[in-house]
Amino acid sequence: MKIPMSSDSESEDRSMRLLQPKIRILYFVYKTGKFRYNISELSRRLGYSKDSWMNNNVHYLLDNKLLETCENKGIKYIRITREGRRKIAFLIQSRVFILVIFSLSLVPAIWSMNWVFFNIPLALLPLLATSLSMLCLAALLLYQNWKLDRYVLQLDRDSL
């Protein structure tokens, strides 16, 4: 089941074409941790109709050591390798950037607490405004990252 898109589906179709299909496969496997090696299921989850196309792309990624197979209790899985993570680092590192911005937004808030508790004269309003603006930026980036998962990859809700 695909997640329904908003009314502006033409612009969202253009945004989905920005990511190469192999990058979408890598990111999907990264998000799921490891995925049962079933080409039909992988093709269905990513919204493709042809399993042969998906099979060719998965084998390309396996041959180039961006994905690897592992076996657990007789069930074959695919998971992303370190090289595969490097290939999609621009998608993965955005969450780290959000965490850094959120952490930095707490610094002005803590400095303003010095004024409240220790009566150290500080300009309280600029510190709180800086903290609030950084928190808003972190929230905006977190929302954009959520939209990446939801719209660009078109993942099922239960696969995340």
* Domain spans in the chain, listed from the N-terminal domain onward: 20-86
Q: In Å, how far are 16, 78, 81, 138 from 66, measured between CA atoms? A: 21, 10, 5, 30
The whole-chain average pLDDT of the chain stands at 76
Q: What DSSP assignment string belongs to 43-79? A: HHHTT-S-HHHHHHHHHHHHHTTSEEEEEETTEEEEE
pLDDT for the residue numbered 121: 65
Instruction: Assign domain 20-86 one CATH number from 2.60.40.10, 1.10.10.10, 1.10.3720.10, 1.20.120.140.
Output: 1.10.10.10
> How many CB atoms lie under 10 A from the CB of residue 149?
17
**In whole angstroms, what is the distance from residue 40 CA to residue 43 CA?**
5
* pLDDT tens, residue by residue, 11-50: 444 444 556 788 888 888 888 888 888 888 888 888 778 8
Global pTM reads 0.63
Which of the pair, 142 or 14, is modelled with greater confidence?
142
